[in-house]
Amino acid sequence: MVEALRDALAIALRSDPTVFLLGEDLGVSGGFGGGFTVTLGLSEEFGHDRVMDTPISGAAIVGAAVGAAMTGMRPVAEMQYGDFVFCAMDAVVNQAAKMCCMSAGQVRVPLVLRLPVGASNRGAQHGQCPEAYFLHTPGLKVVCPSTPADAKGLLLASIRDDNPVIFLEHKLLYGGKGSRKEKASLDVTGDVPEGDYEVPLGTVAVRRQGTDLTILANMLMVHRALAAAEELAREGIEAEVIDVRCLAPLDEDSLRTSAMKTGRILIVEEDTRTGGWGAEVAARLAESAFDFLDAPIQRLAAPDAPLPCALALERAYVPSVAQVLDAARRLVRE
Amino acid sequence: MITRIVVPDVGATGAEMRVVRWLAKEGDRVEAGAPLFRLETDKAVQDIEAFRAGYLRTILAPADTVVEVGAVVALLTDTADESLQETAGTPRSTAPAREQGAPPSRIPASLPLSAPRNPEAPPTRDSLLGLYRRMVLIRRFEDYLYRLFLQGQVPGTLHQCQGQEAVAVGVCAALRPDDVIFSTHRPVGHLLAKGASLPAVAAEIWGKATGCAGGKGGQMHLMDLSVGAYPSNAIVGANIPIATGAALGFRLRGLDRVAVSFFGDGACNTGTFHEGINLASVKDAPVIFVCENNLYAASTHVELAMRVRDIADRAAAYGIPGEVVDGMDVLAVYRAAATALARARAGQGPTLLECKTYRYPGHSRGDPGNYRPREELETWRKRDPIDRCRRLLAQEFHQPEAELDEVEAACQAEVEAAVRFALDSPDPDPAACGEHIYAGKVRE
């Protein structure tokens, strides 16, 4: 996914002079290329102004992105780890999200905030999945791809959207090469179309058709759901797996259509259970598809606890394929 | 004419408001602005002034009466002996009182702020008049708003800037229309100094559809993009990195436009002050940081909030120039701003200007400012920026007093017309709640 994201950034930088990147360690020559090598090499082609290195100043990174976006630029800011976004929450929630509305549409904030998220054996302040905070904030769009092809197309669409977009990138889906590759990386590969293309925001993707239950998942959990679906098929259970790659705006119609088809919904999410994105989706489907449900909507989420570091704990904390299988079987039997 | 004195909405949150005692007796003549009665709320004890002159004829809520917002507590009349009986056709002052019609002014209402290009050059009479007029407009509008607030006519809250006009006007006079400003919860002075539409500002304060933000922003989020005034910010310190970002965008595009961040002494202790100025310094961003140090952040004196006396000293920590400026001298502010602008436009980076100033009113509506010594207010009033400018015009440029009076009258007329426009404007449609959450469509 790293290469796909880098490709998207390069295309955006090449095609639009108002696009620029800002964040820590993005463009330093001989450096990292951002937290996870996504911006590696871009400063060579685009220079150190358009690939702008900042001090460790989360609030100023996002605040400056807001100011630049309000006055005609399209900044793409990066938090080195998604958890650090909380240092900048005023800029995200009180500034970026509210400016368009407070100005009755006269001001736009076309920024993208890229957040590397997901448990990766670094502990509680380096692995949270924070999408629920942004789903709850009117004025933000929330994007969370699970494949390289989606990542490239969604990032290009996000950069070109005139709204502030929170763009979540799961660390274990980066893949990538060399010494900065994550140990537990999934190395997701797949065809990534060449050239400039967009995947529209406000859409979901049906990754696997099925009839017995619908599994809604995002990012890494999509892949665990698909692995579970393969095993379930051997047991005669056909799971439909939907990749909720955009949480806001949410394609509720597609989710409802699937609910009407299967009558059983299992949400698999890596964020913590209470007030997680699954809670919102479950509430909406309970409102709109109640008559079609044969069982209560189920959520499989991380427990309501900060992320532990020890691998033995992390493996119990983040929903696993085994846990998905377990939940799916119980749901189907209900 | 009978004038009703009402209990204004001073923003009390608790249950009881009480008239403590009256500061004038029945039969007394009171001047406009004279304290009439003492009001106690759960937040403060404050003296409520008469918003216009008259004879205090009847006290309807004597001492120790519990009252509520909007209650009529007394009646004033214009003359000592006119009847208190209302007859059909007797004007009731529920609408804002109309002042005497202003005589036509020989000084054009739209006198532009044409300040000299060279900040070291002495000002011309016309440029000084322009500065004077702009400050008077701000003062007249804020004072008029306050009188209306006392009558219970202003919805929402107010954060007023009387006393601080020279900072707004001095800085904005040096700016081009395509330079941008980012203001605060106390935005009226900055907006009007930049040239924002007064009727649209008034309508926004009244929450009307014709407001500069369609009623969606409110008093703390005034804006006028046509003059480069972006929505003002109610989060203390938040506009500092935002202004830095705007400046970075200008520099990246090779533009010589400049961004200005206005903030108070309170903002200087926020994290975004540090982060925003530091980022601007290492990137040579074309931005001017203008601190209006009025000695108080809400009720907290600067000496309780920081160890340094001059905020400008903090500029050294970022390797940028910092200057202490007499914020009551509009020409001093203008010169400092023009110098900082020249630096920024030449690619030499940001400047921190600390303008020493004072706000006559409390922090917000209903704040009587009991945490400030009365003598302090009087001392600063003696250095009033508008009086100072007027003296300069009269003495150095021999501007006839009568003509200066005409400026005042013209501004008053403009202010009243703007408020009439606001009052006559419609409320926004409730459907507006759900509008502009997202901006438009994806760009093709």
The Cα-based distances of A51 to A154, B285, B404 in angstroms read 20, 16, 54
Put simply, the answer to whether A95 touches B238 (Cβ < 8 Å) is yes
Contact A63 B180 (CB under 8 A): no
- With CA atoms as reference, the chain B residue closest to A77 would be B245
Residue of A nearest to B204 (CA): A103
pLDDT at A186 over 60: yes
Residue A55 near residue B279, CB atoms below 8 Å: yes
Contacts of B272 in chain A (CB under 8 A): 59-60, 63, 90
* Cβ–Cβ below 8 Å for B233 and A95: yes
Question: Taking the CB of residue A172, how many other CB atoms lie within 10 A of it?
Answer: 23
Hey, what are B426's tokens?
């419609």
Q: Is A110 on the interface with B (CB under 8 A)?
A: yes
Per CB-CB distance under 8 Å, the chain B contacts of A200 are 442
What is the enclosing helix (H) or strand (E) of A214?
strand A213-217
Judge whether B419 and B148 are in contact, CB under 8 Å: yes
Query: How many Cβ atoms are within 10 Å of A273's Cβ, its own excluded?
Result: 15
pLDDT for B108: 37
Per CB-CB distance under 8 Å, the chain B contacts of A68 are 245-246, 248-249
Mark yes or no for CB contact B248/A67 under 8 Å: yes
Work out the widest C-alpha separation in chain A, in whole angstroms.
Answer: 59
Q: Assess: ipTM above 0.85.
A: yes
Active-site residue (options: A48, A126, A170, A223): A126
Q: Measured between beta carbons, which residues in chain B are less than 8 angstroms from residue A70?
A: 230, 242, 245-246
Q: How confident is the model at residue B11 (pLDDT cuts 50, 70, 90)?
A: confident
pLDDT-based confidence at residue B105 (cuts at 50, 70, 90): very low
- Mean pLDDT over residues A51-62, rounded? 98
Judged against a pLDDT cut of 70, whether residue B89 lies above it is answered with no
Residues B102 and B412 sit within 8 Å (Cβ to Cβ): yes
CA gap B176, B190 in Å, rounded: 14
Place of tokens 């309508």: B203
On whether any CB of chain B is under 8 Å from the CB of A162, the answer is: yes
Percentage of chain A beyond pLDDT 70 is: 99
Contact A68 B246 (CB under 8 A): yes
Find the closest chain B residue to A46 by CA distance. B252
- Banded pLDDT at B1 (limits 50, 70, 90): confident
Tokens representing B128 are 């000084």
Report the chain A residue with the minimal C-alpha distance to residue B179: A71
pLDDT given at position A178: 58
- CB-based contact A139 B247, cutoff 8 Å: no
Query: Are A60 and B225 inside 8 Å of each other by CB?
Result: no
Nearest to B249 among A54, A73, A160 (CB): A73
What confidence score (pLDDT) does residue B111 get? 41
The answer to whether the Cβ–Cβ distance between B238 and A91 falls below 8 Å is: yes
pLDDT of residue B16: 82
| pLDDT at residue B10 in the model | 84
> Which of A18, A55, A198 lies at the smallest CB-CB distance from B279?
A55
Distance from CA of A187 to the nearest CA of B (A): 31
B207: three-class secondary structure by DSSP: coil
Is pLDDT above 90 for B100?
A: no
A164 lies within 8 A of chain B by CB: no
pLDDT tens track for B112-155: 444 445 666 778 898 999 999 999 999 999 999 999 999 999 99
| pLDDT at residue B109 greater than cutoff 80 | no
Distances, alpha carbon B34 to alpha carbons B23, B158, B377, B396, in Å: 9, 20, 16, 34
The alpha-carbon gap from A200 to the nearest alpha carbon of chain B, in Å, equals 9
Q: Which residues of B touch A141 (CB under 8 A)?
A: 438
Rounded to 10 degrees, the C-alpha dihedral A247/A251/A254/A255 comes to 40
Distance CA B76, CA B58 (A): 7
Residue A69 has pLDDT above 70, yes or no: yes
- Give, in order, the Cα–Cα distances in Å from B106 to each of A213, B193, B390, B400, B402: 81, 22, 17, 12, 10
Structure tokens at B206: 């009244």
**What pLDDT shows up at residue B119?**
63
pLDDT (tens digit per residue) in A256-299:
999 999 999 999 999 999 999 999 999 999 999 999 999 999 99
User: What does the pLDDT read at residue B83?
Assistant: 81
CB burial string B224-263: b at 16+ within 10 A, e below? bbebbbbbbbbbbbbbbbbbbbbbbbbbbeeeebbbbbbb
Query: pLDDT above 70 covers what percent of chain B?
Result: 91
- Rounded to an integer, what distance in angstroms lies between the CA atom of residue A38 and that of residue A19? 16
Interatomic CA distance for residues A280 and A289, integer angstroms: 14
Put simply, the answer to whether A57 touches B278 (Cβ < 8 Å) is yes
